[in-house]
Structure 1
């Protein structure tokens, strides 16, 4: 009863470890010291481990499944210093079945820590370097192109990519090309011209690549949904390349 509980969200799409990892990573810098309980666990009941990971000299502990869910947040917090396998039968519950580890394993472990219990009591120590890596994909370079992926689609239809300003050559722009899904033929891609813009108003009537409030590039349209109009969704591949400025042509009539 003496513990303050901050409820971040219960709105992560079912089974979506990556969405949970993104939400947690974006929140970590604003959380106070203490225990962070995170459960998005499609592998419940399997041999994946339940873990407690200590960060920041013991100021914080993440309690979660070892499936990459907490990897980005742990990195933001300075990296894993110690990790333990939550397996002490005196702490976890022996619930019926193996489908509700959030109740039977993770919540009791978090409560134990909040009551002053030692992290060492949860179970054997693990090598932090062997924990599952991030579920968030990294961009890659290929033939003078950057292969990106849509990480997040916000309420307005802006499509955040896994690419930040440091991931693109500084010589690129202002015109770039984006390889996107063809909105008329599923499974086919089309190359579209886009502008690197500072804000939505600068996009005009075309497609923009804008640095969003989290410091990542997002494919955007001005006052329209890029997700809806460009057939983009989470996990969709977007290929970015240097574009060519459109040529301005002037009709000329030759005399006879």
Structure 2
């Protein structure tokens, strides 16, 4: 069954200083003037496929049915595949590079149905170079899908099981503690962890939180910081202090009421955070004095 779509939801690392986003949207409107383009974000850190993948995964439950166009593509112009992947029995299609960017969102949307490698240049723009696939391949393909072009016409059908997986950071249990990491720091300085509240209920309402060693690609090295933090459901329950909030995506986030946890703790995306039960000698309050704190960045 051929589908027509009315919405393209667009995520990229293009930023808004240059003309890239506007050009991509103009290409879409030229081919499919009836569709609307929703900007999810264009402020993914350049080349950060994992950050783009996590952002897309957070969005996917809320995007309109239709085409999802995602471009964080450090391998542009290389042998990496450009793909379109059908989900939810054709109610949606993901378009982007096959570099793991789409994987988590596709899984959350129910898994891949049909998948195609975008090899049919009839549905591309001619180009003087190969470094702007968002304009020359992904945008026209997204627009043609909105016009009712079937997935099978866009190129060579491929086994969706062979699409590159995403890099999903999972917490691990070790020595009675749960080792997780900061997956996202939002513009308010809230630090989302890859840990949900149900995973730490056995530790009690107030947890021991250790921040120290870095994972690969994390922010600057620091000496260990130890806090005892309470889990709450809203920012005002923190009373201006640091705590663990169950955020709008159902994950635990390090937060400061009307402040930045990232600044206070000197942490960033990728930093290791260890949650455990309070130990003897830990101060049983929502805030404890840090054992050692490195200078602010």
TM (norm. structure 1) is: 0.87
Distance 1:204 1:77 in 2: 38
Distance 2:141 2:251 in 1: 35
Partners of 2:190 and 2:254 within 8 A in 1 = yes
Partners of 1:149 and 1:238 within 8 A in 2 = yes
Matched positions, count: 245
SS in 2 for 1:32: coil
Q: Which residue among 213, 234, 238 is the counterpart of 1:203?
A: 238
Distance 1:230 1:247 in 2: 19
1:59 alignment counterpart: 91
2:197 alignment counterpart: 165
2:173 alignment counterpart: 141
Distance 2:44 2:260 in 1: 21
Q: Which residue among 230, 233, 246 is the counterpart of 2:283?
A: 246
Distance 2:182 2:72 in 1: 20
Name the CA shift for 1:108/1:205 in 2 (closer, same or farther; >3 Å).
closer
The gaps in structure 2 that reach 5 residues or longer are 1-32, 214-219, 286-297
Mark the structure with the bigger radius of gyration. Answer: 1
Partners of 2:240 and 2:258 within 8 A in 1 = no
Q: CA deviation at 1:205?
A: 6.3
Q: Which residue among 131, 151, 154 is the counterpart of 2:186?
A: 154
TM (norm. structure 2) is: 0.76
Partners of 1:160 and 1:217 within 8 A in 2 = yes
Q: List structure 1 runs of 4+ shifted beyond 4 angstroms.
A: none
Distance 2:64 2:263 in 1: 38
Q: How do residues 153-232 of structure 1 correspond to structure 2 at under 5 angstroms?
A: 153-168=185-200, 170-181=201-212, 186-204=221-239, 207-232=242-267
The gaps in structure 1 that reach 5 residues or longer are 249-256
Partners of 2:106 and 2:112 within 8 A in 1 = yes
1:125 alignment counterpart: 157
Q: Tell me the C-alpha RMSD between the 2 structures.
A: 2.2
Distance 1:119 1:44 in 2: 22
Distance 1:84 1:172 in 2: 46
Distance 1:171 1:151 in 2: 23
Q: CA deviation at 1:240?
A: 1.1
1:34 alignment counterpart: 66
